[in-house]
Chains A and B, each alone.
Chain A
Amino acid sequence: MNDRQNPFALVRASDFSDSQINDLWVELGPQFINAVIEPRSRMSKYILGGKGTGKTHLLRYHSYQVARLRDKRLSGVETVERLGFLGVFVRATNIDAGRFEAEFASPRQWQQLFGVYLELRLAEGLLDALIDIQRTSPNSSFNEAATLHEVRRTVHGLVGAEVSSVKELQTWVDNQRRAIDVAVDNAAFSGDLRIRVPFPIGGLCIPLTRALALWNSVFASAPVIFLVDEVENFSERQQQIINSLVRYGEGVLTFRVTGRLYSRKTLATMADGEENREGSEFTTIQLDEILRRFERYPDFARRFVAKRLTAPGSGNTGTPFSVFDPTKSLEEVDPQNFFVKHVEAFELDTSATSHSREFINALKAADGEYGITPSVAENVHHVLTSDFPPIIQRLNSLLFFKKAAKRKDPLSTASSIAEAARGYIISGARRGYYANAYGHYANDLFAQLCRASRKLGRPLYAGFDCFVKMSSGNPRNLLICLGRLYELTSFREIDLSNAKLGLLLQTEAAAEAARFMYERDSNYGAAADAAREAVNRLAAVLRTARYALNIPEVSPLTVSFSDTDLEGESRAVLRLALNYSLLFDVNVGRPDRNSDNVHRKIQINPLLSPKWGLPIARRGDLQLNRGVLNAIFDGSRLEEFEMTLRLLGSRWNRPLTSPSNVLFSEMQADLFA
Chain B
Amino acid sequence: MNDYGIYYRRAIGVARLDKELPQFDIFISAFNSSDRVNEVFARIRAVRKFWFVQPEYQYSPLDLPQGITKIAPTSIDEVAQANALLAEIGDLNGKSICIDITGFMRHLLAYLIARLKAGGILRFYALYSEPVAYIQQEQTAFSTKTSGVVRPVRGMASSMKANAEEALIIGVGFDSKLISQVASSKDAATVFPVFAFPSLSPDMYQQSAVRSSAAGDVALASSWTSKRRFAPANDPFSTAGVVSAVVRELDRNGRDWNVYLSPLATKVQVLGFTFYWLLEGSKRTAVSMLLPECLTYSRETTQGLRRLWMYELDFT
Measured CB to CB, the nearest residue on chain B to A188 is B155
Q: Is the CB of A524 within 8 A of B187?
A: no
Which A571-625 residues have C-beta < 8 A from chain B?
A: none
Hey, which chain B residues are within 8 Å of A174, CB to CB? 162
Asked if A128 is an interface residue, CB under 8 A from chain B, the answer is yes
Given contacts A191-B83, A520-B215, A526-B148, 19 further A-B contacts (CB under 8 A): A12-B188, A14-B187, A94-B166, A98-B151, A181-B160, A185-B156, A185-B158, A186-B155, A187-B155, A188-B156, A189-B155, A483-B220, A519-B214, A520-B180, A523-B180, A523-B184, A525-B145, A525-B295, A526-B145
Hey, which chain B residues are within 8 Å of A99, CB to CB? 151-152, 154, 157
22 contacts between A and B (CB under 8 A): A10-B221, A15-B187, A96-B152, A98-B149, A99-B157, A103-B79, A128-B162, A181-B157, A181-B158, A181-B159, A185-B158, A185-B159, A186-B155, A188-B111, A188-B154, A189-B115, A191-B83, A233-B185, A516-B216, A521-B216, A525-B146, A525-B149
Known: A12-B187, A128-B163, A181-B159. A526 touches B151 (CB 8 A): no
Q: Is the CB of B187 within 8 A of A93?
A: yes
Q: Is the CB of B158 within 8 A of A524?
A: no
Which A434-467 residues have C-beta < 8 A from chain B?
A: none
Measured CB to CB, the nearest residue on chain A to B282 is A185
Asked if B241 is an interface residue, CB under 8 A from chain A, the answer is no
Asked if B118 is an interface residue, CB under 8 A from chain A, the answer is yes
Measured CB to CB, the nearest residue on chain A to B80 is A103
Hey, which chain A residues are within 8 Å of B154, CB to CB? 99, 102, 188
Known: A96-B152, A102-B77, A524-B181. A124 touches B160 (CB 8 A): no
Q: Is the CB of A98 within 8 A of B188?
A: no
Asked if B288 is an interface residue, CB under 8 A from chain A, the answer is yes
Measured CB to CB, the nearest residue on chain B to A174 is B162
Asked if B201 is an interface residue, CB under 8 A from chain A, the answer is no
Q: Which of B118, B166, B220 contacts A189 (CB 8 A)?
A: B118
Q: Which of B111, B158, B163, B217 counts the most A-chain CB atoms under 10 A from its CB?
A: B217
Hey, which chain A residues are within 8 Å of B145, CB to CB? 525-526, 529
Hey, which chain B residues are within 8 Å of A483, CB to CB? 220
Q: How far is the CA of A189 from the CA of B154 in the complex (A)?
A: 8
Q: Is the CB of A527 within 8 A of B159?
A: no
Asked if B177 is an interface residue, CB under 8 A from chain A, the answer is yes
Q: Which residues of A contact B (CB under 8 A)?
A: 5, 9-12, 14-15, 91, 93-94, 96-99, 101-104, 124, 128, 174, 177-178, 181-182, 184-189, 191, 233, 483, 516, 519-521, 523-529
Q: How far is the CA of A546 from the CA of B251 in the complex (A)?
A: 58
Q: Which of B160, B162, B295 counts the most A-chain CB atoms under 10 A from its CB?
A: B162
Measured CB to CB, the nearest residue on chain B to A182 is B159
Q: Is the CB of A526 within 8 A of B159?
A: no
Measured CB to CB, the nearest residue on chain A to B149 is A98
Q: How far is the CA of A567 from the CA of B187 in the complex (A)?
A: 35
Q: How far is the CA of A10 from the CA of B221 in the complex (A)?
A: 7
Hey, which chain A residues are within 8 Å of B136, CB to CB? none
Q: Is the CB of B216 within 8 A of A520?
A: yes
Measured CB to CB, the nearest residue on chain B to A65 is B163
Asked if B176 is an interface residue, CB under 8 A from chain A, the answer is yes
Q: How far is the CA of A182 from the CA of B115 in the complex (A)?
A: 15
Q: Which of B79, B119, B147, B176 contacts A188 (CB 8 A)?
A: B79
Which B234-252 residues have C-beta < 8 A from chain A?
A: none
Hey, which chain A residues are within 8 Å of B114, CB to CB? 189
Asked if B222 is an interface residue, CB under 8 A from chain A, the answer is yes
Hey, which chain B residues are within 8 Å of A233, CB to CB? 185
Known: A5-B222, A99-B151, A102-B79. A525 touches B215 (CB 8 A): no
Which B134-154 residues have C-beta < 8 A from chain A?
A: 145-152, 154
Shortest distance from the beta carbon of A3 to any chain B beta carbon, whole Å: 11
Q: Is the CB of A98 within 8 A of B152?
A: yes
Measured CB to CB, the nearest residue on chain A to B78 is A188
Measured CB to CB, the nearest residue on chain B to A12 is B187
Q: Is the CB of A94 within 8 A of B160?
A: yes
